[in-house]
Amino acid sequence: MTPTERQPVRTALPVDLDEAAHRCLVAGFEGTTAVPDTLKRLIDRGLGGVILFTRNVRDAEQVRRLTDTLRALRPDLLVAIDNEGGGIGHLVAAGAPEVPGSYALGVVDDPDLTARCADALAGHLATLGITASYAPVADIQREAGNPIVRTRAFGTEPELVSRHLGAWIAATEARGVASCAKHFPGHGGTLTDSHHELAVDPRPYDELDLGPFRTAIAAGVPMLMSAHVVFPALDPNRPATLSRRILGDLLRHELDFDGVLVSDALEMKSIADLYGEAAGARIALAAGADQVIVAVADLAVSLECRDAVLEALRDGVLGEERVREAAGRVQRLVERYATPADEIAVWDEGAGLEAARRAVRVPPVGVRGAHVVDLFPAPHPALNWGGEDLLTEVLAIDPTATGTAVAGEPVDPAALVDVILAKAGEAPLVVATSDAGLYPWQARMRDELVARRPGVVRVATGLPEEGALCSYGRGRVNLRAVAEVLAGAR
């Protein structure tokens, strides 16, 4: 037992209230086969759900065995995962369908195709015994300097985003998988990433991006996820996850949402550094959240959050009625979605590549034998984002190509430019960047290469850049579609 578990309980709560409090927690954990004893005890006391990450995934059969094992401990346990597509997900090793990110789907603007992509992802989840997907992103990409939403959004216009949200939610629901629109009331207008620091959206109320969330609610989305973002127009003192004004007055009363409101992960710096995870759990539930996520594998953090909630209930700081209300919503959710389908799912394997190809709307470039330079940021630790590279996809089509993939800022960019030009020789040069406006090292390397080698073919694998061939994302199919154009394969 951990020290936290050995602490004496001052006053025992009623068993049903203790279970209700546990219903309000979603926990991450380490392992691919065995369930940790601490997690078993949490499940036995009513844990509402678990969230899986790459650390829990070895292959498809293993994941299904793991979810079956978890559900054998408690049949109404919700098993969830982040599964947005476009390289943002954790099921590559389990054979996840390859679909482009949301921005590329918005560029194509074919809701039926978006539904086919969402259906593929949800069908795959169902075969693995995963019944909740923390997707789609309902944020609008508003701020050019936003570091976290970008190609995860369907686009920059509310009507466009709303069209594709509705298609995604309906397709996921048809598979018996719970979708979750995020990050309420929007993360696209910030200049910081709430994983790393406090994020603020300074816009007035009438400029906030509530429209897509209204659409998601009207479409019957069963879950919303809150943003760890401060909106001074709504509540100048607390981020949305901890704000009664935002979760209660706005979401429950004005928008009339009665599904499950789940927090983003409490260990994100915008909560952990300012409040601490345990206080964050207590405040979020008091503010109107129904579940709080502790995504880190260290179950001691989940126990600290659980204990803070139980202590607040005993002291009357957290109302019993509020916790029972939240647990009731979670219970209704799991009654609909906790049990996965038994039949083998079949989905459209080609939908993702079709969408990625349709997003790349230019004639074939045809630079076979090129030297491909792919510049992109290091993978985001929370999103498993950025592991794919363009060079690999080009080589699969054109074995005569050469190249350099650069993941993260090099120690000496100028020296690397010299190395690249020497390796390229007389071959055509392709230079790809990923959101170079956010990463000055990419812009400097790109500009130096363009200056020294006229005729460079430029590619943008993040948001579009003027004069560049655009993939609108770094999912494998996004990069494959661009590789086909570069090699003149279509």
Tokens encoding 46:
């009513």
Distance of CA 375 to the CA centre of its chain: 22
Whole-angstrom distance, CA of residue 216 vs CA of residue 227: 16
* Local structure of 387: helix, strand or coil: coil
Q: Which residues contact 201 (CB under 8 A, 6 or more apart)?
A: 186, 187, 189, 190, 208, 229, 230, 231
- Would you give the DSSP letter of residue 242? G
CA atoms of 270 and 267, how far apart (whole Å): 8
Identity (one letter) of the amino acid at 76?
D
Residues 6+ apart with CB under 8 A from 444: 413
What are the tokens at 80? 């969830």
Contact 138, 152 (CB under 8 A): no
| Residue of 195, 201, 371, 374 marked catalytic | 195
Residue 205 CB: number of other CB atoms within 10 A?
11
Question: How far are the Cα atoms of 97, 453, 470, 485 from residue 350, in angstroms, in the given order?
Answer: 9, 37, 21, 18
- 195 flagged as catalytic: yes
Is 76 designated active site?
no
Task: Select which of 139, 193, 209, 264 is catalytic.
Answer: 264
CA distances (Å), origin 189, targets 141, 224, 453? 7, 18, 37
- Token pair belonging to 445: 């390397």
Nearest-10 Cα torsion for 355, 154, 89, 257: -130
CA 30, 32, 36, 40 dihedral sign is positive
Catalytic residues: 195, 264
